[in-house]
Amino acid sequence: MLKLENLSVYYGGIHALRGIDIEVAEGKIITLIGANGAGKSTMLNSIVGLVKSATGKILWNGEDITGNDTKDIVSRGLALVPEGRHVFPNLTVEENLRLGAYARSDHAGIKADHDRCYDLFPRLKERARQHAGTMSGGEQQMLAVARGLMSSPKLLMLDEPSLGLAPLVSKMIFDIIREIHKDGTTVLLIEQNAHAALEIADYAYVLETGVITMQGTGAALLNDDGIRKAYLGEG
Ligand SMILES: Nc1ncnc2c1ncn2[C@@H]1O[C@H](COP(=O)(O)OP(=O)(O)OP(=O)(O)O)[C@@H](O)[C@H]1O
Ligand SMILES: [Mg+2]
């Protein structure tokens, strides 16, 4: 479904991605783990056209979308829930959700996804008229995920959705990711919580300073000694 071929990104003199090759197969949950500064957010931002790549290709169902603008990419069915929430603080929950559907015009579909978001996140339904900026951190994270769903994505990309959340809320976000996936959405997940990410992932990549250094099934990486030491805090 999504393929990156030899993708490189520079920020001035910093070579943030150094020839990345990854593949996201339809219907799977794929995760990317890596230390702070490894280039994880850069990779997602370049997929949705927020960061320009210097070399390489981004292929979506075989079509080259490298360099396309973000609105075009979103309308093809890719959505990014960025790191650090980024909800619109002065708009209500409801208004934030509606903005998630800005690239769509299928009113019946928007209504169905809107209802589904409130089913998945009853807390948001209770708070529909509350300004997003006054919601708790966890609630804002729920809203960011729900807003991503409002674009009706075929591929939902999440950049550290559990960052800063209490364990119970974090678990709830992971449960919802499972549910979204069960409903037919492909997921590309970035997580500091490598253990939880590898547990739900079909396939995983390890990114170190801009290079993919390891890949395999979630289960294989969970059992790898090097991964356990470097990312799972064991040994
Ligand atoms: N706009 C920018 N200008 C200059 N350097 C940047 C910019 N954005 C990111 N970088 C650098 O590129 C590298 C990769 O950053 P990136 O945000 O992709 O890392 P990350 O893996 O998402 O890290 P984290 O886990 O901390 O979110 C870092 O060294 C960072 O300082
Ligand atoms: Mg990041």
Given a cut of 70, the residues of the chain with pLDDT beneath it are 235
Return the residue matching tokens 């080259």: 64
- Count of positions (residues) in the chain: 235
Report the pLDDT value the prediction gives residue 235, as an integer from 0 to 100: 66
Report the pLDDT value the prediction gives residue 164, as an integer from 0 to 100: 81
Report the pLDDT value the prediction gives residue 193, as an integer from 0 to 100: 87
Residues 6+ apart with CB under 8 A from 112: none
Best residue among 9, 10, 14 to mutate for probing ligand 1's pocket (most ligand atoms within 8 Å of CB) is 14
Report the pLDDT value the prediction gives residue 105, as an integer from 0 to 100: 87
- How close is the Cα of 34 to the center of ligand 2, in Å? 9
Alpha carbon distances (Å) from 206 to 2, 20, 60, 124, 160: 17, 11, 22, 34, 15
* pLDDT tens digit sequence for 117-165: 999 999 999 999 999 999 998 899 999 999 999 998 999 999 999 888 8
Distance CA 35, CA 37 (A): 6
**Nearest ligand to the CA atom of 9:** 1
Distance CA 225, CA 123 (A): 40
Report the pLDDT value the prediction gives residue 42, as an integer from 0 to 100: 97
Report the pLDDT value the prediction gives residue 84, as an integer from 0 to 100: 80
Determine if ligand 1 sits within 6 Å of the CB of residue 37: yes
Query: Smallest Cα–Cα separation from 129: which of 116, 119, 141, 143?
Result: 143
- How close is the Cα of 121 to the center of ligand 2, in Å? 25
State the pTM of this model.
Answer: 0.94
